[in-house]
Amino acid sequence: MDDKSIRLSGTSYAVLALLDQLGEATPYDLKQALAQSIENFWPVPHTTFYAEPTRLAAAGYLSERKEQHGRRRKLYALTDAGRAALAAWAASATAGHPQTRDETLLKIFAGSEPEPLLHARRAWHVDKQAELEAMLAEDPWDLEEGGGPRRTLLIGIRYHAMSIELLDEFLLALPAAGAEPCADG
């Protein structure tokens, strides 16, 4: 690795993991792959994401080359140092706590009428679950049985199914419009 030591973040590991799956890729290829995979469970700010390959290349975690013809795009690939950093991070038995960042919950907390928000959120989960199930059936990543991308896709499908079940329970428990709330909440 270069002597320019940097701190690796979740975004860094997202880039490394995508390149581990894709081999060599442009920043645009990485953004497309991110949208179809990691962003289903780990949102990444796009401005940070676009700058990350250059930062990782400067630190020796990625190689960088320009196409000889055409648009002369930059292509990135993992170096041995990048592969080792990704493997060490993935092998660690610790991970940060999950973070929930849900504007629907924030609006309900702030006093919004919950029913329309919960119906809209339920519809989103139904659509997202169908999208992930279609991705699993189409298998665009050539997902190996038991591999990490396939496992996260299966977990994502189950997460959305559980969210739909939970929202159905909340919607059933809501008092009818104009009715007094139940004494037990």
Q: Is the pLDDT of residue 162 over 50?
A: yes
Query: Looking at 30-44, 78-92, 154-168, which range is the least confident one?
Result: 30-44
What mean pLDDT do residues 154-158 have?
Answer: 94
| DSSP annotation of 42 | S
User: What's at 48, amino acid-wise?
Assistant: T
Q: Is the pLDDT of residue 177 over 70?
A: no
Which CATH code fits 10-91? 1.10.10.10
| DSSP annotation of 134 | H
User: What's at 59, amino acid-wise?
Assistant: A
Contact by Cβ (8 Å): 19, 82: yes
Chain-centroid distance of CA 112 in Å reads 28
Per-residue pLDDT band at 140 (split at 50, 70, 90)? low
pLDDT, one tens digit per residue, over 15-40 is 999 999 999 999 999 999 998 888 88
Quickly tell me which residue has 């676009």 as its tokens.
Answer: 50
What mean pLDDT do residues 132-152 have?
Answer: 81
Chain-centroid distance of CA 137 in Å reads 19
Q: CA-based Rg of the chain, rounded to a whole angstrom? A: 21
What mean pLDDT do residues 95-109 have?
Answer: 88
**pTM (2 decimals)?**
0.74
- Domain ranges for the chain: 10-91, 103-173
All residues at 6 or more sequence positions from 91 whose CB lies less than 8 Å from its CB, including other chains: none
What mean pLDDT do residues 87-102 have?
Answer: 90
Of residues 140, 169, 166, 137, the one with CA closest to residue 154: 137
Q: What pLDDT was estimated at residue 120?
A: 97
Is residue 10 exposed (0-12), middle (13-18) or buried (19+ Cβ within 10 Å)?
A: middle
